[in-house]
Amino acid sequence: MSKILVVDDEMKIARLVRDYLTEAGFDVTLAANGPAALAAARSQRPDLVILDLGLPGMDGYDVTRSIRSGSSIPIIMLTARSEETDRIVGLELGADDYVVKPFSPRELVARVKAVLRRVGGEVATEVIRAKDLVIDIPHRRVERKDTRIELTTTEFELLRILASSPGRVFTRGQLLDSIRGVSFESYERAIDAHVKNLRKKLEPEPRRPAYVITVHGVGYKFADA
């Protein structure tokens, strides 16, 4: 049974989310603030965190920074902020997905399942090698020059999709559909944020990418073999 940590200071919303997730078969822990969330993340070791950005005191951005400093656990943001900049900041900090309040609890459960499917993945035997990069798909491991590169769930899935078809150009919409695995209204700049994070970790010179290439006006591709 997958363990989910729900972090929201609005207990009515937190309990509603808990009830839907419990009904879907998840083991759910609640936290009402940032320090409690970090303590639960350390002690409970959840498989996924649902995190409200608008927490009092230590907000969701700070919680995300703290979690990402030592873990690649999937994070889904809950935000009442409709501004594009707020969502981009959250994604650039390493969140895997976002849901804007008010939201459908059923949609949130679908998002949770989709992210966890990406974490578990299907059994694969493929290892992709490109220049000095090694992408071990079954073990979800990436190395460059024998140095391991830690990626979030979404970053790894994005790299896997691109690297599995070198030279093929993917639109942002295609990448969104592939990595999320659920039907939703596309927010295409989310892909740009994840690509930016991926390049920081993957590319020797992120401003001059050698692996994940921008195709202007279309989307992205992995460098031709």
Is the CATH code 3.30.230.30 the one for domain 3-120? Answer: no
Structure token pair of residue 223: 């460098």
Would you say how long the chain is, in residues?
225
**Coil, strand, or helix at residue 90?**
helix
Neighbours of 162 (CB within 10 A): 27
Confidence of residue 116 (pLDDT cuts 50, 70, 90): confident
End-to-end CA distance of the chain: 41
212-215: strand order across its sheet: 170-171, 219-222, 212-215
Q: Range(s) for CATH 3.40.50.2300 in the chain?
A: 3-120
Measured between alpha carbons, how far is residue 224 from residues 55, 141, 210 in Å?
44, 21, 10
CB 45 within 8 Å of CB 3: yes
Measured between alpha carbons, how far is residue 41 from residues 13, 64, 99, 160, 162 in Å?
20, 11, 20, 27, 31
**Coil, strand, or helix at residue 100?**
strand
Is the CATH code 1.10.3720.10 the one for domain 127-222? Answer: no
Residue 118 CA to residue 4 CA, distance in Å, equals 15
pLDDT tens, position by position, 153-201: 889 989 998 998 888 899 888 888 777 654 444 466 788 888 999 999 9
Which residue in 84, 92, 97, 87 sits closest to 50, CA to CA? 97
pTM of the full predicted structure?
Answer: 0.67
Q: Range(s) for CATH 1.10.10.10 in the chain?
A: 127-222
pLDDT tens, position by position, 35-70: 999 999 999 899 999 999 889 889 999 999 999 988
Which residue in 132, 136, 139 sits closest to 203, CA to CA? 132
Neighbours of 62 (CB within 10 A): 15
